[in-house]
């Protein structure tokens, strides 16, 4: 087997374990969501079983990520696919996903632990948790959001958000500079 291919395959197990743990899932819970047995998941994570598409596709779907994120496929060279961080400091990473001045901006952020400091400014924000746990302070209220959960708020209210614990948190962050709010056109049926 090609040495590069072997390294890619060997890295999948630890990546699967880290992804599952970041999302707060047990092997049993992941098995229930994917239909893959606990023993197979355990052997995949420990590297005792080679990953196949039949195993990786349900895992990617369950974690709501692209298959190449599990495999860490070599970069294709397409700059539209491989975004570069715009800003990185104190362990925080900010990747702009849109560039529409004066309109809603979309960012992917990885936030490192830090002390809360409430701020206010004009605008409106939406936060969607991808991995980890997000602590959100809005005025006198405090919330902990987990993967798949979302919050929206007017930034004129004192607010702060960051990791809920000592681990980093990964979020999608939308910011409307003029206080733009989402217009919900469809909702799930009851």
Q: What is the CATH number of the domain that holds 168?
A: 2.60.120.10
Residues 104, 46 share a domain: no
Looking at 71, 103, 130, which one is the last position of a domain?
71
Q: Quick one: angle between helices 27-34 and 53-63, nearest 10?
A: 100
Is position 129 within any domain?
A: yes
Q: Are 16 and 59 in contact (CB under 8 A)?
A: yes
Residues 94, 124 share a domain: yes
**Does residue 182 or residue 107 have the better pLDDT?**
107
- Give the model confidence (pLDDT) of 111-164 as tens digits: 989 899 999 988 889 999 999 999 999 999 999 999 999 999 999 999 999 999
Question: How many domains, in total, are found in the chain?
Answer: 2
**Does residue 160 or residue 15 have the better pLDDT?**
160
**Does residue 76 or residue 167 have the better pLDDT?**
167
Range of the domain at 17: 3-71
Is position 182 within any domain?
A: no
Q: Retrieve residue 52's tokens.
A: 């196949």
**Does residue 179 or residue 19 have the better pLDDT?**
19
Looking at 17, 43, 71, which one is the last position of a domain?
71
pTM of the model: 0.55
Among candidate residues 61, 107, 65, 67, the one with its CA nearest the CA of residue 88: 107
Is position 185 within any domain?
A: no
Residues 169, 144 share a domain: yes
CA–CA distance, 156 with 24 (Å, rounded to integer): 32
Residues 118, 67 share a domain: no
Is position 95 within any domain?
A: yes
Q: What is the mean pLDDT of residues 51-71?
A: 85
Residue 79 confidence (pLDDT): 47
Is position 138 within any domain?
A: yes
- Give the model confidence (pLDDT) of 72-107 as tens digits: 765 554 444 456 665 566 777 888 787 766 678 888
């Amino acid at each position: 087997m090609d040495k590069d291919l072997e390294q890619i395959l060997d890295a999948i197990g630890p990546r699967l374990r880290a992804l599952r743990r970041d999302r707060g899932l047990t092997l049993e819970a992941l098995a229930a969501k994917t239909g893959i047995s606990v023993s197979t998941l355990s052997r995949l994570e420990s590297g005792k079983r080679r990953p196949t598409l039949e195993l990786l596709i349900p895992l990617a779907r369950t974690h709501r990520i692209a298959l190449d994120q599990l495999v860490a496929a070599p970069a294709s060279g397409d700059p539209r696919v491989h975004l570069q961080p715009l800003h990185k400091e104190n362990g925080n990473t900010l990747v702009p996903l849109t560039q529409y001045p004066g309109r809603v901006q979309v960012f992917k952020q990885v936030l490192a632990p830090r002390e809360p400091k409430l701020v206010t400014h004009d605008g409106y924000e939406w936060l969607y948790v991808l991995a980890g746990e997000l602590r959100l302070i809005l005025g006198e209220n405090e919330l902990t959001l987990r993967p798949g959960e979302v919050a929206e708020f007017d930034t004129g209210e004192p607010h702060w958000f960051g990791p809920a614990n000592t681990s980093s948190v990964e979020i999608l962050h939308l910011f409307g500079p003029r206080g733009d709010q989402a217009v919900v056109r469809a909702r799930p049926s009851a």
